[in-house]
Amino acid sequence: MCAKSGVLCPKCQRLVREKKVTSLEVELSKLIANTVAKNKKYRNLELYRVLRLKNAAILLIKSGQKELYTDPSVSLINVISDKLGTDIVLLEKTKDTKKLVETIVAPATPISITKVFIPPFGEEEYVIKIPKEQKNLVRFSSEEVAEIMKNLLGASAYLSFE
Protein backbone atom coordinates (compact mmCIF):
# COMPACT_ATOMS: atom_id res chain seq x y z
CA MET A 1 0.00 0.00 0.00
CA CYS A 2 2.84 2.38 0.82
CA ALA A 3 4.41 1.86 -2.60
CA LYS A 4 1.09 2.47 -4.37
CA SER A 5 0.22 5.59 -2.41
CA GLY A 6 3.72 7.05 -2.37
CA VAL A 7 3.44 7.76 1.37
CA LEU A 8 5.12 5.47 3.89
CA CYS A 9 3.14 4.24 6.87
CA PRO A 10 4.74 4.48 10.35
CA LYS A 11 5.94 0.86 10.19
CA CYS A 12 7.68 1.39 6.83
CA GLN A 13 9.15 4.70 8.02
CA ARG A 14 10.62 2.86 11.01
CA LEU A 15 12.13 0.18 8.72
CA VAL A 16 13.80 2.91 6.64
CA ARG A 17 15.03 4.70 9.77
CA GLU A 18 16.48 1.46 11.15
CA LYS A 19 18.10 0.81 7.73
CA LYS A 20 16.31 -2.51 7.31
CA VAL A 21 14.90 -1.06 4.09
CA THR A 22 16.89 1.32 1.90
CA SER A 23 15.59 4.39 0.14
CA LEU A 24 16.51 2.69 -3.17
CA GLU A 25 14.23 -0.24 -2.27
CA VAL A 26 11.41 2.18 -1.47
CA GLU A 27 11.97 4.06 -4.73
CA LEU A 28 11.98 0.86 -6.81
CA SER A 29 8.88 -0.44 -5.01
CA LYS A 30 7.05 2.76 -6.00
CA LEU A 31 8.28 2.44 -9.58
CA ILE A 32 7.15 -1.19 -9.77
CA ALA A 33 3.77 -0.42 -8.21
CA ASN A 34 3.13 2.42 -10.65
CA THR A 35 4.26 0.36 -13.66
CA VAL A 36 1.97 -2.60 -12.93
CA ALA A 37 -0.87 -0.76 -11.15
CA LYS A 38 -3.61 -1.73 -13.58
CA ASN A 39 -2.61 -5.37 -14.05
CA LYS A 40 -4.06 -7.79 -11.45
CA LYS A 41 -1.56 -10.45 -12.50
CA TYR A 42 1.10 -8.45 -10.63
CA ARG A 43 -0.89 -7.90 -7.43
CA ASN A 44 1.30 -10.20 -5.30
CA LEU A 45 4.66 -9.09 -6.71
CA GLU A 46 7.30 -9.00 -3.95
CA LEU A 47 10.71 -7.33 -3.83
CA TYR A 48 12.80 -8.21 -0.77
CA ARG A 49 16.19 -6.54 -1.28
CA VAL A 50 18.08 -4.44 -3.79
CA LEU A 51 21.88 -4.55 -3.86
CA ARG A 52 23.60 -1.94 -5.98
CA LEU A 53 26.99 -3.04 -7.32
CA LYS A 54 29.47 -1.38 -9.65
CA ASN A 55 28.17 -2.89 -12.90
CA ALA A 56 24.79 -4.30 -11.93
CA ALA A 57 21.96 -4.28 -9.43
CA ILE A 58 20.68 -7.43 -7.78
CA LEU A 59 17.01 -7.76 -6.98
CA LEU A 60 16.06 -10.42 -4.47
CA ILE A 61 12.51 -11.36 -5.40
CA LYS A 62 9.87 -13.86 -4.31
CA SER A 63 10.43 -17.38 -5.59
CA GLY A 64 8.47 -18.10 -8.75
CA GLN A 65 8.07 -14.46 -9.80
CA LYS A 66 10.99 -14.17 -12.22
CA GLU A 67 8.63 -14.54 -15.19
CA LEU A 68 6.60 -11.53 -14.02
CA TYR A 69 9.70 -9.32 -14.02
CA THR A 70 10.79 -10.53 -17.45
CA ASP A 71 7.32 -10.60 -19.08
CA PRO A 72 7.75 -8.73 -22.39
CA SER A 73 4.22 -7.27 -22.28
CA VAL A 74 5.15 -5.14 -19.26
CA SER A 75 8.98 -5.28 -19.51
CA LEU A 76 9.35 -4.50 -15.82
CA ILE A 77 13.01 -5.50 -15.85
CA ASN A 78 13.67 -2.94 -18.59
CA VAL A 79 11.87 -0.20 -16.66
CA ILE A 80 14.00 -0.94 -13.58
CA SER A 81 17.19 -1.18 -15.64
CA ASP A 82 16.47 2.17 -17.29
CA LYS A 83 15.78 3.79 -13.92
CA LEU A 84 19.03 2.51 -12.38
CA GLY A 85 21.09 2.80 -15.55
CA THR A 86 22.60 -0.64 -15.07
CA ASP A 87 22.04 -4.32 -15.75
CA ILE A 88 19.65 -6.18 -13.46
CA VAL A 89 20.22 -9.63 -12.00
CA LEU A 90 17.16 -11.35 -10.54
CA LEU A 91 17.69 -13.72 -7.63
CA GLU A 92 14.74 -15.67 -6.32
CA LYS A 93 14.59 -15.90 -2.55
CA THR A 94 15.40 -19.41 -1.40
CA LYS A 95 16.71 -21.24 1.64
CA ASP A 96 18.82 -23.35 -0.71
CA THR A 97 22.25 -21.72 -0.45
CA LYS A 98 23.65 -23.84 -3.26
CA LYS A 99 20.98 -22.64 -5.70
CA LEU A 100 21.54 -19.01 -4.66
CA VAL A 101 25.32 -19.25 -5.13
CA GLU A 102 24.91 -20.98 -8.49
CA THR A 103 22.74 -18.10 -9.68
CA ILE A 104 25.24 -15.51 -8.45
CA VAL A 105 28.23 -17.06 -10.24
CA ALA A 106 26.30 -18.17 -13.38
CA PRO A 107 27.05 -18.93 -16.14
CA ALA A 108 30.09 -20.48 -14.40
CA THR A 109 29.42 -23.79 -12.68
CA PRO A 110 30.85 -24.21 -9.17
CA ILE A 111 32.85 -27.36 -8.42
CA SER A 112 31.83 -27.08 -4.77
CA ILE A 113 30.22 -24.75 -2.26
CA THR A 114 31.48 -25.40 1.23
CA LYS A 115 30.36 -23.80 4.49
CA VAL A 116 33.27 -23.34 6.88
CA PHE A 117 33.01 -22.32 10.53
CA ILE A 118 35.76 -19.97 11.63
CA PRO A 119 36.94 -20.08 15.26
CA PRO A 120 36.69 -18.78 17.93
CA PHE A 121 33.04 -17.73 17.59
CA GLY A 122 31.99 -20.05 14.78
CA GLU A 123 31.44 -17.36 12.16
CA GLU A 124 30.34 -18.78 8.82
CA GLU A 125 32.23 -18.44 5.56
CA TYR A 126 31.43 -19.99 2.20
CA VAL A 127 34.23 -21.22 -0.02
CA ILE A 128 33.06 -21.32 -3.62
CA LYS A 129 35.34 -23.30 -5.92
CA ILE A 130 35.09 -22.61 -9.64
CA PRO A 131 37.12 -24.17 -12.46
CA LYS A 132 40.00 -21.90 -13.60
CA GLU A 133 38.83 -22.05 -17.19
CA GLN A 134 35.45 -20.56 -16.14
CA LYS A 135 36.95 -17.60 -14.26
CA ASN A 136 35.94 -15.17 -17.03
CA LEU A 137 32.35 -16.42 -16.93
CA VAL A 138 31.73 -15.14 -13.38
CA ARG A 139 30.01 -11.78 -13.84
CA PHE A 140 30.96 -10.41 -10.42
CA SER A 141 34.36 -9.82 -8.83
CA SER A 142 35.38 -11.79 -5.73
CA GLU A 143 34.69 -8.69 -3.61
CA GLU A 144 31.20 -8.30 -5.09
CA VAL A 145 30.40 -11.97 -4.48
CA ALA A 146 31.53 -11.51 -0.88
CA GLU A 147 29.31 -8.41 -0.54
CA ILE A 148 26.31 -10.21 -2.05
CA MET A 149 26.73 -13.19 0.29
CA LYS A 150 27.17 -10.92 3.32
CA ASN A 151 24.00 -8.98 2.48
CA LEU A 152 21.84 -11.97 1.61
CA LEU A 153 23.10 -14.66 3.98
CA GLY A 154 24.96 -12.72 6.65
CA ALA A 155 28.09 -14.78 5.95
CA SER A 156 31.35 -13.99 4.25
CA ALA A 157 32.38 -15.76 1.07
CA TYR A 158 35.55 -16.54 -0.78
CA LEU A 159 35.94 -17.44 -4.46
CA SER A 160 38.59 -19.98 -5.32
CA PHE A 161 39.57 -20.79 -8.91
CA GLU A 162 41.05 -24.27 -9.34
Q: What is the pLDDT of residues 8-43, one digit of tens each?
A: 778 878 887 887 888 888 888 888 888 887 777 877
Helix (H) or strand (E) holding 129: strand 123-130
**pLDDT average, residue stretch 134-161:** 90
Q: Give 78's Cβ-side CA count (13 Å radius).
A: 6
- Residue 130: which H helix or E strand, with range? strand 123-130
**Rounded CA separation 7/5 (Å):** 5
Domains, the chain, ordered by start: 2-92 (3.30.300.20), 97-161 (3.30.300.20)
Q: If pLDDT is split at 50, 70 and 90, which confidence band does 161 have?
A: very high
Closest CA to 91 of 106, 111, 81: 106
> Distance between CA atoms of 13 and 2, rounded to whole angstroms?
10
User: Among candidates 91, 44, 43, which has minimal Cα distance to 66?
Assistant: 91
pLDDT of residue 71: 85
* Full DSSP string of 55-76: SEEEEEE-TT-HHHHH-TTT-H
- Note the pLDDT of residue 8: 77
Ranked by mean pLDDT, the top range of 21-30, 33-42, 86-95, 119-128 is 86-95
Share of the chain above pLDDT 90, in %: 29
pLDDT of 3 reads 65
User: Which residues sit opposite 82 in a β-bridge?
Assistant: none
Identify which has the larger pLDDT, 148 or 10. Answer: 148
Whether 66 contacts 92, CB under 8 Å: yes
Max mean pLDDT among 18-27, 75-84, 129-138 falls in 129-138
pLDDT of residue 38: 77
